[in-house]
Structure 1
């Protein structure tokens, strides 16, 4: 399973869901993406309704979060949390919630990037959209989201 591996890079090997991502998620994301939020498939049925209620897709478990990294919503975590340095200068819509200061946001972004794997941090979706190609098999194989 391509999610289970560990990257050769030091940070990516050390970052785990249990030790790093879950506490960060609980502190910064659970208010809108916690247990009271809809699962991804339900969220996609009526995104506007849930957004108006300040609820995004549920991500309070490892399995729920993997859906927004690998599949079916490939790269969603990366697109939403990215600082814009990989996307022509436009940060993702959730980047601002990673911290109160740019320093804190960058620190927390580094934690997420270390968990996904530095070479796995791709903003592509599963299928091409417009001029942006879909994620490649090689990109998917570089995702390292250690439990």
Structure 2
């Protein structure tokens, strides 16, 4: 019995990293974003450019920038709104004040669901690429570096 348990744990040790490496937009991120974020960030939501032109109106309508396509999601990861996805979805473990991002609560109904969904998003972005930096320096937070950008995974 103990041997079977050890064998199972050993297999899980090798399978979990492989699963993380196989996270893609099509298979994992698109369905997750649609289910958890689609109501406010779906096809009817404004593009980031439209949102930036009239934030107050869209906030009042409970709409945020569109994230329903690979391209619109990349805008919130790479450029021009570098790191926005990470800042909004972070569980607080990536910043000094340990305060989660304002959209973390929407990743699931329970703490376990939120943690599991965040793990999927982090695997897609790239564990080493998960940072809260913007394109340019803001306050004490430096702008993103080329080395940080090079770590992005973002498999389609």
TM-score, normalisation: structure 2? 0.87
Q: What does residue range 77-92 of structure 1 map to in structure 2 within 5 Å?
A: 77-88=85-96, 89-92=98-101
From 134, 146, 149, the counterpart of 1:140: 149
Whether 2:66 is the aligned partner of 1:58: answer: yes
Moved over 3 A (4+): 9-12
| Cα drift, residue 13 of structure 1 | 2.2
Query: Bigger radius of gyration, 1 or 2?
Result: 2
Structure 2 unaligned runs (5+)?
A: 1-16
**Shift in Å, 1:11:** 4.3
Q: Tell me how far 1:33 sits from its aligned partner.
A: 0.3
For 2:49 and 2:80, how far apart are their aligned partners in 1?
A: 9
TM-score normalized by structure 1?
Answer: 0.92
Q: Could you say what the CA RMSD is over the residues aligned between the two structures, in angstroms? A: 0.9
The answer to whether the Cα contact below 8 Å between 1:12 and 1:118 also exists between their aligned partners in 2 is no
Tell whether 2:134 aligns with 1:130: no
Cα separation, 1, equivalents of 2:18 and 2:142: 29
**Alignment partners' CA distance in 1, 2:52 and 2:74:** 16
Structure with the greater relative contact order (CA < 8 A, sep ≥ 6): 1 or 2?
Answer: 1
Instruction: Identify the structure with the greater helix proportion.
Output: 2
- Measure, in 1, the Cα distance between the counterparts of 2:93 and 2:140: 19
Where does residue 116 of structure 2 map in the other structure?
A: 107
